[in-house]
Structure 1
Amino acid sequence: MSKPKHIYTLLDVAKSLQSIIGKTYTKQYWIKAEIARLNFYPKSGHAYPDLVYKEEGKIQAEMRSIIWGSDFVKINRKFQDNVKSKLSDGMQILFQATVSYHPKYGLSLTIMDIEPSFTLGEMAREKAETIQRLKEAQIFHQNKRLPFPVLPKRLAVISVSTSKGYHDFLNIIQNNTHGFAIQSYLFSALLQGERCAKSILEKLNLIKTKADYFDAVLIIRGGGGDVGLNAYDDYELTSCIATFPLPVVTGIGHSTNLTIAEMVSHTNKITPTDVAYFMVEKFSNLKKKLDETERLLHQTTAHFLKSHQDSLTQTADLLQIHTKHFIQSSYAQLDNKKERIIEQSLRLLKTSFQHLEQYQQRLKHAVDYSSNEMLFLLNAFHNRIRIAVQYQVNINTKELEQLSKQVELLNPKNVMKRGYSITTLNGKSITNQQQLTSGNEIKTILYNGTIESIVK
């Protein structure tokens, strides 16, 4: 016959385990683990962290734990004072706990204390590893290499509408003394806590789809002190900032220990106020350059106009002198031609009379010719002489008339007779309105009379 089976109830096994564990684990132990999920309940004040231990990224052990409300307040305050962050999911911790087993609730660790320095070391190690990953991917300085807009007019701002820092930022850019038009668009996100990195990352991805609408992205956070800044060391968040297609400007706190987000951003300013002044300064710098350019342009233009005004005045004076000289020369040429015409006419008449006398002499000797025939020849010759003389006189007269007309056309009085006038200032001709200033007394010479005026 087979031996009867000894049957244990589940409670028997549980109580046995409870007894063994209670006898074996009789003191408090320091244990290293990762908080997979904090499971904090604000109403009761208790936390029930799910703890895991990983090797090469794989979970090798998993256990639940409890932190009673009174202990949680003490531990969390100590943690914030040293680590500058609240207990949250994903943190590596070194904690002191007791091991217990309850038949109904199973194996559990009751956490009594947590060593912040261990978490700080782990965070520093993880931070260093994240920096190394970004550098190995050759994206650590990528955002810094982007050209910053000369006028960043449209800004995508990741912040919280209720944040004092955000309102300080708005007050500065909207009420800047020069009245620069800077437009900002708020993309509200969580700026601290467990979901901080994920929330900011979601807004960055949203802005990326509208990148053509913006000149830069600002991540600003104020009023939170140094608490919760470890979220800004998250690899996914920092790699997104480093590779973002627009310049990213950060102003996320007063910390002297820069987060990776601040390191990889294009420009880092400590506070939202500093970020606002940085943006306004971009406009101020360009305004200064434009004002200086305007001043130089006015100076150069004034110098150019003055030099050309002097040149035009000299040209007008020279033109007046040359015109007067030309008229005088034309009168002299006319007088010379007139004298030559008179001399030629006199010589022609003299020669004609000489020929006439010669013919008269011949006529006297031509006794064989009849008086009528001689008279006919004499008249014919006389007519020929008269026609030749008249023709020459007409030609000379026409030349004289043409020269006279040319001189008359060049006479300023005839020019003014057609409606033109000459305006002078202190005896000098005015050729350009830039020569005149208010209060100048000018004289306008007309064909018939003059007009004196005062420039207003």
Structure 2
Amino acid sequence: MNKDTFDKPLSLLELNSLVAAVVDISLPDEYWVEAELSEAREVRGHCYMELVEKDEFSNTPTARASAKCWASRWSLLRPKFERITGQRLHAGMKVMLRVRAQFHAAYGFSWIVSDINPEYTMGDLARRRQEIVRQLKAEGVFDLQKELRLPLFAQRIAVISSEGAAGYGDFSRQLHDNQGGYIYKVELFAAVMQGEAVEQSVIAALGRIYERVDDFDAVVIIRGGGATSDMSGFDTLALAENVANFPLPVITGIGHERDECVLDMVAFARMKTPTAAAQFLIDNLQRTALRLDQLADRIADRVQRRMDVERVRLVSLSERIPMLFSLVKTKEWGRADRLMQRITTAANRQLVTAETHVDTLQRTIEMSVRRKIDNERHRLELLAQRVEAENPDRLLRRGYSITTYNGKAVRDAAQLPQGALVETHVEKGTFKSRVE
């Protein structure tokens, strides 16, 4: 190393000035560059960007750089870009910039932006949108909202919008000042409606509505004013999935007339403005009222026609009643006579049968009684014979005697006590004896 190098060191300003000169000489031209924005912000009219390029497979940054667009140029580029793309510059956006290299002694290296190609960004946005739509269709949720039906009496409305915004005020006035005098119950679920926080904020609002899903008939998502260009938050997969799967019809009115965002595509109905969204609900109730009026007219007409028919029928019946009564009377008298004859015949037949049965029973009873009397007479004769055979008088006449002690016949002499007085019965008389 040359010793003079240490004897005469350069100041940082001198060194940076050398680098600036080298950059100016080596990179005198402007270049178109494709990159992704990792950050974009405006300060005092200038636009400051952080550019990044990521690996296709790992998504790891492979290159980074800073870029600036000075206010004098940015004031011309910004309106054109936002008018064509419908969006502001934001992180994650793919851009094509025309840049030139600049190395500033005090601020270092950066790319100075002189132009921006909105068609390139439009193409990237379209590709992203198509990819989201393709994924939603693959999941089978893209058309779920279209399969829902808006209730005929949709009057309980949950609104997702920024609190105090002009769009929400326009929606409420349009809804409540309707010519039909219909009454709506509107409840606001505040959310961020522009910037990077849109996705999570709106999803959170949908979650709060879902917790009370039975309290509402439909959901309306409207932008509360804000820049028409700031629409990136409505082109996200997560928000589209939440809306597509929501159980209530979701109506959008986010003021994006030039093109549909993904949220518009999956919603039940897409309106251009908050006022149009309110009118959509009013028209629905007007159609319901008209249908009810038509049904009421049809019911009244049918009732009137039925009444006319019944009136004619009653007149006809009233004219036929005397003749019909006479016919019915004659018919019923004949029927009564036939019934009386049948009853008389049946009664006579029953009486004859009963008399025959009584006669049969009488003969049977007489024979049974007679047989019973004969049997009992014979049994009495046998008993009389037995009684006669057992008669003590008969034994006495044959020479036998009966001795009693205390009124009982003596069968065993050993049972008589000494001196007992006994009585002996013979055929002719009795006598008493004392036992010795």
User: What is the TM-score when the length of structure 1 is the normalising length?
Assistant: 0.61
User: Which one of 91, 94, 97 corresponds to residue 95 of structure 1?
Assistant: 97
Structure 2 residue matching 1:60: 3-state secondary structure: strand
The aligned counterpart of 1:60 is: 62
> CA offsets, 1:377-402, max 9 Å, x none?
xxxxxxxxxxxxxxxxxxxxxxxxxx
Contact map agreement 1:222 1:271 (CA 8 A) in 2:
no
Contact map agreement 2:252 2:277 (CA 8 A) in 1:
yes
Distance 2:295 2:261 in 1: 41
Structure 2 residue matching 1:49: 3-state secondary structure: strand
> CA offsets, 1:4-58, max 9 Å, x none?
9x878994876665554444323332222122111322xx323322211123233
Distance 2:70 2:200 in 1: 29
The aligned counterpart of 2:82 is: 80
The 5-angstrom pairing of residues 293-372 of structure 1 reads 293-312=295-314
Structure 1 unaligned runs (5+)? 328-456
Distance 1:319 1:137 in 2: 73
> CA offsets, 1:93-135, max 9 Å, x none?
1112232334654332222322222222222222222222222
The aligned counterpart of 2:334 is: none
Distance 2:236 2:328 in 1: 92
Q: Which amino acid aligns with 1:55?
A: D
Tell which deviates more after alignment, 230-239 or 263-272. 230-239
- CA-CA distance at 1:143 after TM superposition: 1.7
Distance 2:93 2:167 in 1: 28
Contact map agreement 1:225 1:253 (CA 8 A) in 2:
no
Q: Which amino acid aligns with 1:62?
A: R
Distance 2:80 2:289 in 1: 51
The aligned counterpart of 1:219 is: 221
Number of residues paired by the alignment?
325
Q: Which amino acid aligns with 1:242?
A: A
**1:150–1:23: structure 2 CA closer, same or farther, 3 Å change rule?**
same
User: Which one of 139, 150, 153 corresponds to residue 151 of structure 1?
Assistant: 153
The aligned counterpart of 1:29 is: 31
The aligned counterpart of 2:139 is: 137
Contact map agreement 1:189 1:199 (CA 8 A) in 2:
yes
**1:49–1:259: structure 2 CA closer, same or farther, 3 Å change rule?**
same
Alpha-carbon RMSD across the aligned residues, in angstroms, is: 3.5
Whether 1:232 and 2:234 are equivalent positions in the alignment is yes
User: Which one of 176, 181, 203 corresponds to residue 183 of structure 2?
Assistant: 181
Distance 1:247 1:9 in 2: 71
Distance 2:35 2:197 in 1: 21
- CA-CA distance at 1:265 after TM superposition: 0.9
Distance 1:254 1:70 in 2: 28
- CA-CA distance at 1:146 after TM superposition: 2.1
Distance 1:322 1:245 in 2: 64
Structure 2 unaligned runs (5+)? 330-436
**1:188–1:293: structure 2 CA closer, same or farther, 3 Å change rule?**
same
The aligned counterpart of 1:390 is: none
Identity of aligned residues (%): 28
Distance 2:91 2:80 in 1: 17
> CA offsets, 1:66-86, max 9 Å, x none?
222323222212322332332
Distance 2:61 2:11 in 1: 28
Distance 2:318 2:193 in 1: 76
User: Which one of 252, 259, 262 corresponds to residue 260 of structure 1?
Assistant: 262
- CA-CA distance at 1:283 after TM superposition: 1.7
| Bigger Rg, structure 1 or 2 | 2
The aligned counterpart of 1:39 is: 41
Contact map agreement 1:48 1:66 (CA 8 A) in 2:
yes
User: What is the TM-score when the length of structure 2 is the normalising length?
Assistant: 0.64
**1:315–1:78: structure 2 CA closer, same or farther, 3 Å change rule?**
closer
Distance 1:186 1:308 in 2: 55
Structure 2 residue matching 1:40: 3-state secondary structure: strand
**1:96–1:151: structure 2 CA closer, same or farther, 3 Å change rule?**
same
Distance 1:83 1:209 in 2: 36
- CA-CA distance at 1:156 after TM superposition: 1.2
Contact map agreement 1:224 1:253 (CA 8 A) in 2:
no
The aligned counterpart of 1:269 is: 271
The aligned counterpart of 1:207 is: 209
